[in-house]
Each structure stands twice: as structure tokens, then as C-alpha cells.
Amino acid sequence: MQEVQGLVIRNTGSHYLVLCDDGVERACLAKGNLRLRGIRSTNPIVVGDRVEVKLTPEGGGEAHFIKEILPRRNYILRRAANLSKQSHILAANIDASFLVCTLVAPETSTTFIDRFLANAEAYRVPTQLVFNKTDLLNEEGQAYLAELIALYTGIGYTCHRVSAITGEGLETLSEQMQDKITLFSGHSGVGKSTLINALIPGVDLRTGDISQAHYTGMHTTTFSQMIPLPTSKGYLIDTPGIKGFGLLDMQDEEVSHYFPEIFALQPQCRFGNCTHTHEPACAVREALEDGRIAESRYISYLSILEDKDEEKYRPEY
């Protein structure tokens, strides 16, 4: 055997650990001229990549080489904070991303949720909402949560009602992770680490507040790994600094493509390039009037339109 395909499960900065399709994990180097077309990135290969490895005969002391990256279904990245347009890809081929939200301690705003979802749509990363800390909700909070869940379920997003403390909803969440490459995001303090610890007992995570503190260190930013799930072939991506995905550059009329219920009405607007803000005979604003489009969603949509030109990169998204 001279070549084998595999899955990159760890990136240490100096080499990649590849779980090859013959079941063997091998440390590999990347060939110097490896490049991904169309993406200007500081790092060509990331966890979640499917790669083709050229094997070097064992015992010779030489490394195996990653020859080729197979086409990606999706990827997420962090934009460099400066304007160099360089970006740092964090992971590829994500099957499911879970946005952890809380209505109290701290409160996740619907604007944050919607902006996250729109970016996830743009990156083609299927996303589910995980409302955590349900044990802290009073009656009013429960009612608001029910409303939000009805809203997002209606749009097509799977929602989970969980508590990392009481264990509510964890079984269903765990089922959704089976055999998938998954990613947890969300504001600091919403309970990501607590949830992951409950889902994967004994896991040693670097995400969360602790790694955020080291986040500027070169080593910790390049190091990322996938943690195997105990009960299936799935993996959880563990990478520092994910709060969301970098905001994409998009045209005004493109923003609505990433709000599925707004996009669905677009064909009924008089103008094909309607931005649903001021145009006459706009089906979206009509739907807003009679409650078929939620006001909170429309506000989030406007917020992206408003600041996307001023600020292409916002660290919190």
C-alpha cells in the first residue's frame, strides 16, 4: 500500500494526526506546495479534512506526507483582526453545529442567534439551537422559551431544551451527535463546557474560558483536535476561539438568502433584487405586518444589512 485516505483528527502545528481508512493513526507532514484553490489561509489543512496520504515505508525514519486535500463540504474560519484578508480556517466538514443559548445568566439575544444562524447558512454548516439552563427559568421564562422554540422550529431549525445540571434533554442531544463531526459554539458562560462534560464524561477540553485566556499564544491557536465520542464514530471539534464564524462578504440582496423564511418569500416581491427595506410591493414586509415573519428576525436581518458595510469583521461573531 502506497497511498491511503484518512481523516485529520489533530493539528499540532508541526504535524497532523490522520486516522487512515485502514484504521491506523499516522503522524503526517504536509507537502510544501499544498494549496487550496480560492482560499487565502494561514493554514492549508485542518481537523475534519479528508486527505490523501502518501505512505513512506515504515522504519526508514521518514514521515508520511499529506498529498492532497479532498474537496470540503464546508469549513469555518476566523478572520484575522487586521485587514490583510488572511483567514485562519478552524475546521472542515462539520456535520452539525450546536449553538448553545441561555435566556438567563447570561441572556443570549435573538440578534446574536439570528446572526449566527445566517452565517451558518452562508457557510453551509447545519446548525441546531440548544437552549440550556432551563432549570433556572420561571414561568415567564418558560413561556418565552416556548415561543422561541416555536419560532425557530417553524423556520426549520431543530431546537433542544436542556439543562446540563438536571440532565434534561441530554439524551436527545447526544443522539443528534452520533456518528457526526460536531461543534459547540455560544457565548462564554452559557454552559458549553458543563454540557460537553455531561455528554462526554472525562473529556479534557481546552475550549471555554481557560483556553480563551491563552488564545493569543501561537501554539494554542494552531493546535486543534477532534475528540472521539464514547458511544459512536462521531467527533467533537475542540478548537480555541470559536464564538461564531467570520462574517462573509455579501451583497445587500444576498443577506436574505441566509434567512430561510425571508428567502422563501422573495419570489413574491415585485423586484428580483428586493432588499425588503423600502421597495414597493415587498412580500416580506407584508408578511411582517400580518405576523408571518417574526419582528425579531426582521430586526436581525436589518442589523446585518446596516453594519455589514462598515465592519466586515466583528470578533464576537
Per the CB < 8 A criterion, the answer to whether 28 and 5 are in contact is: no
* Interface with Zn ion, residue 17, by CB under 5 A: no
Of 284, 288, 293, 294, the one binding Zn ion (CB under 5 A) is 284
* Interface with ligand GDP, residue 12, by CB under 6 A: no
* Interface with Zn ion, residue 293, by CB under 5 A: no
Place of cell 443577506: 255
For Zn ion, the closer of residues 263 and 317 by Cβ is 263
Of 48, 208, 234, 240, the one binding ligand GDP (CB under 6 A) is 208
Rounded distance, CA 41 to CA 57, Å? 31
* Contact of residue 244 among ligand GDP, Zn ion, none (CB under 5-8 Å per partner type): none
Q: From residue 166 to residue 205, what is the string marking binding to ligand GDP with x (rule CB under 6 A)? A: --------------------x-xxxxxxx-----------
Q: Which stretch binds ligand GDP (CB under 6 A): 4-12, 132-140, 149-157, 227-235?
A: 132-140
Rounded distance, CA 144 to CA 142, Å? 5
* Contact of residue 282 among ligand GDP, Zn ion, none (CB under 5-8 Å per partner type): Zn ion
Question: Which residue from 72, 47, 70, 58 is spatially nearest to 24, judged by alpha carbons?
Answer: 58
For Zn ion, the closer of residues 263 and 313 by Cβ is 263
Rounded distance, CA 16 to CA 28, Å? 5
For ligand GDP, the closer of residues 8 and 198 by Cβ is 198
Name the closest residue to ligand GDP (Cβ). 191
Per the CB < 8 A criterion, the answer to whether 282 and 274 are in contact is: yes
For Zn ion, the closer of residues 162 and 282 by Cβ is 282
**φ, ψ (nearest 5 deg) of residue 269:** -75, 150
* Contact of residue 132 among Zn ion, ligand GDP, none (CB under 5-8 Å per partner type): ligand GDP
Rounded distance, CA 269 to CA 302, Å? 17
Rounded distance, CA 77 to CA 47, Å? 12
In the complex, minimum distance from the CB of residue 42 to ligand GDP, in angstroms, rounded to a whole number: 26
In the complex, minimum distance from the CB of residue 288 to Zn ion, in angstroms, rounded to a whole number: 10
How many other C-beta atoms are found inside a 10 Å radius of the C-beta of residue 4? 17
How many other C-beta atoms are found inside a 10 Å radius of the C-beta of residue 316? 9
Rounded distance, CA 217 to CA 164, Å? 30
Per the CB < 8 A criterion, the answer to whether 227 and 238 are in contact is: yes
In the complex, minimum distance from the CB of residue 241 to ligand GDP, in angstroms, rounded to a whole number: 13
- Please, which of residues 240-269 interact with Zn ion by CB under 5 A? 269
Question: Which residue from 89, 74, 82 is spatially nearest to 34, judged by alpha carbons?
Answer: 89
Rounded distance, CA 118 to CA 99, Å? 12
Of 78, 79, 161, 276, the one binding Zn ion (CB under 5 A) is 276
How many residues form the binding site for Zn ion (CB under 5 A)? 5
The per-residue DSSP string of 237-276 comes to EE-TT-SS-PPPP--HHHHGGGSHHHHTTGGGSSSTT--S
Of 28, 36, 164, 294, the one binding ligand GDP (CB under 6 A) is 164
In the complex, minimum distance from the CB of residue 282 to Zn ion, in angstroms, rounded to a whole number: 3
Footprint of Zn ion on this chain (CB under 5 A)? 269, 274, 276, 282, 284
Footprint of ligand GDP on this chain (CB under 6 A)? 132-133, 135-136, 163-165, 186, 188-194, 208-209
